[in-house]
Amino acid sequence: MTTLLSILVLVFIFVAIWQMVKIFDLTQVGKTTENNQVANDDDNRINGYLMIGFLIFIYVITIVCFVKWGDLPLMSNSASEHGPGIDSLMIISMIVIFFVQTVTQFLLHYFAFKYKGEKGRKALFYADNNKLEAIWTIIPVIVLAGLIIQGLFTWNSIMNIDEEADPMVIELYAQQFNWKARYSGPDNALGKANVRLIDINRANELGVDEADPNAQDDVIVKELHLVVGKPVVFKMRSQDVLHSAYMPHFRAQMNCVPGMITQFGFTPTVTTADMRETEEMKEKVFNINEIRRGKSKSLIAEGKEGLEPYTFDYLLLCNKICGTSHYNMQMKIIVETQEEYDEWMKGQKLFVDSLVKN
């Protein structure tokens, strides 16, 4: 039925367009312009003005987006030591882009308006100017050189993991469709692991080598706890397909690749509790809860359950397509003080104790 209706609608649209074209053509009868479907002076004029209209539209949509949604992007409240470096580079790049965009779009659309065709006018025969070409080759070169240099410095400082700072080693383990974390324990060394050692019956889900002395004090958990101010290096593994560990608030991301260990390191700088108290976050959470309240109302009216109010938490998301439930592969991250962390760690089971004895 719906299919039939859709087809009918489509047919009607075609007929409507056909009739409108006919009507328009009839209004043109008697005018001196020849109807050869090539733009005449009227078309040039109207479309020239529309070009200016479109330029304004581009500017307006830019301004509206910044005013209305400008607070959405993660730009200022990074929660890691390297975060501000990325953010400032981002802002510099945005300013460059914004400037170039505004100027070039203006020139493009303004020229399209200014030089709209008129019968009898002749265009300027102007084919080449090496000086101009040189100018707009060299200016981008200089600007890009600056961006490249700052970008490379930022990149290298992020990717070079400072082993001397004695970072806490944590394994991130990805599988369809959840995350696990393995802490290396007091020895700060992860026990060897391979998927071939996985033994579901003994609850060795990560394939950790039970014989490895380093593995004895490992701790496997489903919620990531980090100590504020303490560098951490993640060793990432995946057991099945590609996943990507994306921690947007820490400006951190790395793919998890089956068959190899990838790594990413950073130092968290703001505890979850402190982040919840920042003005920006309070406002964001308030807005989100407004939206959720509205949705809850309509849900309850339908006789369904309402939505829980939202409290902020750092998240680890999967950001590489990994199958059906890719959209719901997440893990909570909690950044806390050393004392809170120790307290939490005390309550966790060691890997050796978590195994099913037989």
Partner 1 sequence: MSAHVEEHGHDDHGHHHKETFITKYIFSQDHKMIAKQYLITGLIMGIIAVVMSIMMRMQIAWPEESNPLFKALLGKWAPDGVMSADIYLALVTIHGTIMVFFVLTAGLSGTFSNLLIPLQIGARDMASGFLNMVSYWLFFTSSIIMVCSFFVEAGPAAAGWTIYPPLSALPMAQGGSGLGMTMWLVSMAIFIASSLLGSLNYVVTVINLRTKGMSMTRLPLTIWAFFVTAIIGVISFPVLLSAALLLIMDRSFGTSFFLSDIFIQGEVLHYQGGSPVLFEHLFWFLGHPEVYIVLLPALGITSEIIATNSRKPIFGYRAMIASIIAIAFLSTIVWGHHMFISGMNPFLGSVFTFTTLLIAIPSAVKSFNYITTLWKGNLQMNPAMLFSIGLVSTFITGGLTGIILGDSALDINVHDTYFVIAHFHLVMGISALYGFFAGVYHWFPKMFGRMLNKNLGYVHFWVTAVCAYGVFFPMHFIGMAGLPRRYYTNTNFPLFDDLASVNVVITIFAIIGAIFQIVFIYNFFASIFYGKKAEQNPWRSNTLEWTTPVEHVHGNWPGAIPHVYRWSYDYSKPGHDEDFVPQNVPLKEGEEELQH
Q: What is the footprint of partner 1 within residues 325-344 (CB under 8 A)?
A: 325-328, 330
The residue from 230, 276, 292, 332 that contacts partner 1 (CB under 8 A) is 292
Give min distance, CB of 171 to partner 1, in A: 14
Cα 87 from Cα 73, distance rounded (Å): 11
Given 47, 278, 337, 348, the residue binding partner 1 (CB under 8 A):
47
C-beta separation of 203 from 322 below 8 A: no
Find how far residue 48's CA is from the centre of its chain: 37
Binding range to partner 1, per CB under 8 A, among 226-234, 235-243, 336-344, 349-357: 235-243
| Distance of closest approach, residue 43 Cβ to partner 1, in angstroms | 5
Residue 282 to residues 119, 157, 209, 288, 338, Cα–Cα distance (Å): 62, 31, 45, 10, 25
Q: How far is CA 126 from CA 105, 129, 186, 240, in A?
A: 22, 8, 75, 61
Gap between the Cα atoms of 11 and 5, Å rounded: 10
Q: x/- contact string, 194-213, with partner 1 (CB under 8 A)? A: xxx-x-x------x------
Pattern of binders to partner 1 over 160-179, x per CB under 8 A? x---------------x---
Cβ 78 to partner 1 shortest distance, Å: 9
298 touching partner 1, by CB under 8 A: no
Shortest distance in whole angstroms from residue 128 CB to partner 1: 6
Number of amino acids touching partner 1 (CB under 8 A): 129
The residue within the footprint of partner 1, chosen from 123, 339, 347, 357 (CB under 8 A), is 123
List the Cα angle 8/13/15 in 5-degree steps.
95
Q: Residue 303: phi, psi to the nearest 5?
A: 85, 15
Handedness of CA 337, 343, 349, 351 (dihedral sign): positive
Residues 33, 56, 63, 115: which binds partner 1 (CB under 8 A)? 115
Distance CA 115, CA 123 (A): 9
> Which of 168, 252 has the CB closer to partner 1?
252
Smallest distance, partner 1 to C-beta of residue 33, A? 12
CB of 31 to partner 1, least distance (A): 14
Distance, in Å, from the CA atom of 254 to the CA atom of 263, rounded to the nearest integer, reads 7
18 binds partner 1 (CB under 8 A): yes
Residue 262 bridge partners (DSSP): 236
